[in-house]
Amino acid sequence: MSHILIAEQVLNGLQFGVMLFLMAAGLTLIFGVMGLINLAHGSLYMIGAFFAAVVAGWTGSFLLALIAAMAAAAAAGALVELVVIRRLYDKDHLDQVLATFALILIFSEGTRWVFGSFPLFLDIPDALSGPVTLPGGIQYPLYRLVLIGTGLGVALGLGLLITRTRIGIQIRAGENDREMIAALGVDISRLYTLVFALGAALAGLAGALVGAIQSVQVGMGEPVLILAFVVIVIGGIGSIRGALVGAILVGLTDTLGGVFLPELFKLFMEPSAATSVGSSLASMAIYILMAVVLIWRPTGLFGARA
Amino acid sequence: MRREAALNAAILVALIAVPAWAHLSDEPFTITLATRAVILALAAVGLNIALGIGGMVSFGHAVYFGIGGYAMGILASHAQSYTPMELFGLSIEGTKSMLVIWLVAVVLSALAALVIGLLSLRTSGVYFIMITLAFGQMFFFFSISWAAYGGEDGLSIYVRNGFPGLNTLVPIQYFGLCLAILLVVLWFNARLARSPFGLALNAARQSPARAETVGLNPMRLRLVAFVISGAITGLAGALFADLNRFVSPTMFSWQLSGEITVLIIIGGVGRLMGPVAGAVVFVALEHLLGGLTEFWHIYLGAALLLVVLFARGGLVGLIAGRPGGGGGGHG
């Protein structure tokens, strides 16, 4: 086990983590501001990936594909908010879960209807393909480094948006007391639509970026959605900082667990048994992490005290 | 209440009449569909105790359904291959007896519900939904990577397990067995809702602070309800696996947890027969729309959305009006 392998796996975990952050940031904002559990967030991720694949196919431009993915996901998000989601704000969580579960069914089958069951492919642009050599002699794919950079950039931008701008002040005020800011003259329903579209655009961006290293297909959003929920629950629902910490924690746990747990068990078990025990434990690792965090702090690492 | 009673009777009559008709006109597939509805209803009746009476939104009830399924699959596969199971130095024979399998399924899923409940009930609201979901995913991924029992491919059983005095491979006989279990559990559920325990649980859902003030322990009430709920869903899992003679990790999937919840919502939360009505409608829709179009989930989604947005109380609530007694509404 060389230091190069370890460094590579840490980078992989980081890359996975920041992509989860893009999903989790939207979810946690939507929950924090509107108090809404949105299971359909994974569908917005899928919509982003499909639009990116189609636009990249037409124009050959990856940048246009990303813009299309964000625009399409934001538009779909705004539409869903206007038609369905705003009827759910004052309902209980069970209704929100079920209504957005219904939206998943509609979006997934609708996409299958239009595009069929076969995956689409989105290629990494030539300028970003191929490996680069990092200090220490580590060969690492440039595209994945770009993903890490983009994710951290978005995190920074989002942090600035929330803490430094007028809209950020309104969002934070909305988390604390929605009646009050409505009484102060902020158009609360416009703010809600905006926050929802912002979260959707981030999900769409994540879908397009990840779509280039995996295949673009129906159902791609749900595994990521569940991981994003794990992330925001670990971080504390409503906290952007919690989402970033949780995302990186989950990304690293999942990636490093998959590689190192089987190795760890090989130290005191026979290899074949170690591999099977290690890999089954690794696949459960993030859920165990989440359960431990929740049992230790029932509202997550950065969550408000209940 | 009288309209609800009439509706409940109508649902039961339909549940008996349709398979009886199918048996006479020799349409075994319809009987299989009805059996599927009865078993899904049983799973949902289990969840409804936690969700409807206890107010615990568990989004991980597939755990117990899957445990029941795997209890059947593992025991029967050992009996099928005549190899005992080695467990911590003990050698356990497999079995093809339904009674033993049910007992194991109920005990194991109750144990799992006890552990998961103890840990999860420390949280509430969204965190509770999410932690139950996380436990579901834990079991799902564990079953996928458990190569000894089929891993991702699942386990097939060649012959349905036996029940004394019945030939369970005859569709109508297996249907009758499942229906009998459902009726017993429904009777138990009705008794439970009206028992001091059920009333206390109801109170703990509606106002935990008041329940505590009068000396009840909401946490313990919820935990007991959660365990009963998990055990019933586990039994349904064993029956479901026997119906298909197949278990796979999909029995642990979060979509399945979602579907069991959907059955209750379509039928009516906290209503005695809500889960049964929901399961019958679900299976009928699945069959009828599934035959018309490959994309029937779109219509299911639309129907679910309409029920959540406009028809609180589900089908039973729509037909029978507001609830009069215990077990109605939810918080």
A37 touches B: beta carbon within 8 Å: yes
Nearest to A38, CA basis, from A149, A179, A200, A187:
A200
Contact B134 A291 (CB under 8 A): yes
CA distance B2 to A297: 47
CB B249 within 8 A of CB B149: no
Is residue B326 scored above 50 in pLDDT? no
Is residue B330 scored above 60 in pLDDT? no
* Average pLDDT across chain B, whole number: 88
Q: Give one DSSP letter per residue of B306-331, joined into a string.
A: HHHHH-TTHHHHHHH-S--STT-S--
The residue ranking higher by pLDDT, B42 or B157, is: B42
CA distance B255 to B241: 17
Contact B142 A283 (CB under 8 A): yes
Nearest CB to A287: which of B137, B265, B302?
B137
Contact B129 A37 (CB under 8 A): yes
Q: Report, in angstroms and rounded to the nearest whole number, the Rg of chain B calculated over CA atoms.
A: 19
| B93-151 pLDDT per residue, tens | 788 889 999 999 999 999 999 999 998 998 888 889 888 988 998 899 889 888 788 88
Is residue B25 classed as helix, strand or coil in its secondary structure?
coil
Domain that holds residue A263: 9-120+133-296
| Chain B residues with CB-CB distance to A298 below 8 A | 122-124, 127
In chain A, residues 220-259 whose CB comes closer than 8 Å to chain B: 226, 229-230, 233, 237
pLDDT in tens, chain A (306 residues): 578 888 889 999 999 999 999 999 999 988 888 888 899 999 999 999 999 999 999 998 999 999 999 999 999 999 999 999 989 988 888 889 889 999 999 999 999 999 888 888 888 888 888 888 888 778 888 999 999 999 999 999 998 998 899 988 888 888 788 788 888 888 888 889 999 999 999 999 999 999 988 889 998 988 899 899 899 989 988 888 899 999 999 999 999 988 888 888 888 878 877 787 788 888 888 988 988 888 888 888 887 654
Task: Chain A: give the shortest CA distance to residue B257, in Å.
Answer: 11
DSSP, res A297: S
Q: How distant is the alpha carbon of residue B150 from its chain centre? A: 24
| B142-154 pLDDT per residue, tens | 898 887 888 888 8
Amino acid present at B242 = D
Looking at residue B331, what is its pLDDT?
36
Contact A101 B304 (CB under 8 A): yes
A98 touches B: beta carbon within 8 Å: yes
| Chain B residues with CB-CB distance to A104 below 8 A | 301
β-partners of residue B85 are: B92
Consecutive H or E run containing B109: helix B98-120
Interface test with A, best of B56, B146, B308, B330 (most A CBs within 10 A): B308
Q: How many Cα atoms sit within 13 Å of A234 on the Cβ side?
A: 29
Q: Is residue A304 part of a domain?
A: no
Amino acid present at A82 = L
Q: Is residue A2 part of a domain?
A: no
What percent of chain B has pLDDT above 90?
A: 44
What percent of chain A has pLDDT above 70?
A: 99
Looking at residue B130, what is its pLDDT?
85
Contact A112 B295 (CB under 8 A): yes
User: How many residue pairs bridge chain A and chain B with CB atoms within 8 Å of each other?
Assistant: 126
Contact A229 B130 (CB under 8 A): yes
CA distance A264 to A274: 8
Phi then psi for residue B165, to 5 deg, are 85, -5
Nearest to A36, CA basis, from A157, A203, A195:
A195
Nearest to A190, CA basis, from A78, A284, A64, A28:
A78
CB A28 within 8 A of CB A239: yes
| B297-311 pLDDT per residue, tens | 888 888 888 888 887
Looking at residue B1, what is its pLDDT?
58
Phi then psi for residue A229, to 5 deg, are -65, -40
Degrees, nearest 5: CA angle A45-A49-A52: 135
- Among the ranges given (A179-183, B58-62, B186-190), the one the predictor scored with the smallest mean pLDDT: A179-183
Task: Chain B: give the shortest CA distance to residue A228, in Å.
Answer: 11
| Chain B residues with CB-CB distance to A279 below 8 A | 145
CA distances from B193 to A98, A196, B76, B203, B237 (A): 25, 41, 35, 11, 23
What percent of chain B has pLDDT above 70?
A: 96
- The band of B227, judged by pLDDT with boundaries at 50, 70 and 90, is very high
CB B67 within 8 A of CB B109: yes
Looking at residue B269, what is its pLDDT?
83
CA distance B275 to B282: 10
CA distances from A46 to A17, A34, A209, B257 (A): 18, 23, 11, 22
Q: Is residue A68 part of a domain?
A: yes
CATH at A288: 1.10.3470
Degrees, nearest 5: CA angle B136-A202-B133: 10
| B15-54 pLDDT per residue, tens | 888 888 888 888 888 899 999 999 999 999 999 999 988 8
Q: How distant is the alpha carbon of residue B16 from its chain centre? A: 20
CA distances from A94 to A98, A212, B135, B279 (A): 6, 35, 18, 19
| Chain B residues with CB-CB distance to A108 below 8 A | 297
| Chain B residues with CB-CB distance to A112 below 8 A | 295
Contact A112 B265 (CB under 8 A): no
Looking at residue B19, what is its pLDDT?
86
Q: Report, in angstroms and rounded to the nearest whole number, the Rg of chain A calculated over CA atoms.
A: 20
Nearest CB to B300: which of A105, A279, A300?
A105
Interface test with A, best of B115, B130, B259, B309 (most A CBs within 10 A): B130
**Residue of chain B nearest A272, judged by CA positions:** B147
Write out the two tokens for A89: 């704000």
Degrees, nearest 5: CA angle B16-B21-B22: 100
Q: Is residue A223 part of a domain?
A: yes
Burial of A296 from C-beta contacts in 10 A (0-12 / 13-18 / 19+): exposed
CA distance B186 to A66: 54
Sign of CA dihedral A167, A169, A174, A175: positive
Interface test with A, best of B131, B293, B312 (most A CBs within 10 A): B131
Domain boundaries, chain B: 2-320
| Chain B residues with CB-CB distance to A88 below 8 A | 309
* Complex ipTM: 0.82
- Furthest-apart CA atoms within chain A: distance in Å: 68
> Which CATH number describes the domain made up of B2-320?
1.10.3470
Domains held by chain A: number: 1
Nearest CB to B134: which of A98, A102, A230?
A230
Write out the two tokens for B21: 């008709």
| A191-210 pLDDT per residue, tens | 899 999 999 999 999 999 99
| Chain A residues with CB-CB distance to B258 below 8 A | 101
Q: Tell me which residue has tokens 């009805």.
A: B34
